[in-house]
Structure 1
C-alpha cells in the first residue's frame, strides 16, 4: 500500500518525467497518509490509442489512480488528490501543442484483504 497506477497518452512519453513524478508523489503522500515510503508502488501504462472528445490528434491525457488502505478521512483523501494533481502538472513539462487532461482518483483498496511480503 499504496498502489498507484498511471495511464498516459503515448504522445506524452518524452515530456512526462514519470520517475521524478513518482518519487515526489511518494515523498509527499507518505507524510499525508502516514505510510512508510518503502510501501509505495507506482506503475506506468503508456496508452498507444486514446480518443478524447471529438478525437483530435492534439488531445492527450494522464490519469492517476491512487489506491490506499481504508480509514483515511475525506479531508485527507481530498488533500492527497490535490497534491497528486499538482505534482502531476508540475512533471508534465511543456504542453508542446497538446491539450492534456490530467486527472486523479483517490480510492480505498477494495475487496478482500491486502497481503504483502518483502523478499530480501
Structure 2
C-alpha cells in the first residue's frame, strides 16, 4: 500500500516526466496520507490509442492521464480529496511542453478488504 497506477496516452511522449512525477507523488502520498515511503509502488501504463469526443483518433490532438491511488481503508474523505488535488497539481508540473491537449484526472480509493500483498 499504496498501489498507484497511471494510465496515460502515449501522445504525451517525452513531455511526461514520469520519474520526476513518481518521486513527487510518493512524497505527497507520504505527507498527505501518512503512507510509508517504501510502501509506495507506482506502475505506468501507456495507451497507444486514445479517442476523445468526436475527434478523429488519427488526429492525436488529445491525451488522457488518469491516476488511481489505492490506499488501505481508514483515511478521511478530506485527506483523499487533498491528495487528488495534489496529484493534479503535480501532473500540471510534470506533463509540460506537449502540443496536445491533456485531460488529467485522479482518484483515491480504498483498497478492498480482500487486499493482500507478497514481497519476495
Alignment TM-score > 0.5, same fold: yes
TM-score (norm 1): 0.91
Residue 109 of structure 1: aligned partner: 111
Question: Do 1:8 and 1:45's aligned partners in 2 also have CA atoms closer than 8 Å?
Answer: yes
TM-score (norm 2): 0.91
1:115, CA displacement in angstroms? 2.6
Unaligned runs of 5+ residues in structure 1 are none
1:55, CA displacement in angstroms? 2.5
Which structure 2 residues correspond to residues 49-64 of structure 1 after superposition, within 5 A? 49-56=49-56, 57=59, 58-64=61-67
Supply the distance in 2 between the matched residues of 1:66 and 1:9 (Cα, whole angstroms).
18
Residue 9 of structure 1: aligned partner: 9
Q: What secondary structure does 1:13 align onto? A: helix
1:111, CA displacement in angstroms? 4.6
Supply the distance in 1 between the matched residues of 2:48 and 2:86 (Cα, whole angstroms).
27
Question: Do 1:13 and 1:46's aligned partners in 2 also have CA atoms closer than 8 Å?
Answer: no
The alignment's C-alpha RMSD in Å is 1.3
Residue 67 of structure 1: aligned partner: 70
Residue 46 of structure 1: aligned partner: 46
Supply the distance in 2 between the matched residues of 1:111 and 1:72 (Cα, whole angstroms).
14
Residue 30 of structure 2: aligned partner: 30
Question: Do 2:11 and 2:62's aligned partners in 1 also have CA atoms closer than 8 Å?
Answer: no
Instruction: Tell me which protein shows more helix as a share of its residues.
Output: 2
Question: Do 2:3 and 2:70's aligned partners in 1 also have CA atoms closer than 8 Å?
Answer: yes
1:89 paired residue among 89, 92, 98 = 92
1:16, CA displacement in angstroms? 0.1
CA deviations 1:82-111 (Å, max 9, x no partner) are 001100111001132x11101101111125
Supply the distance in 1 between the matched residues of 2:79 and 2:31 (Cα, whole angstroms).
11
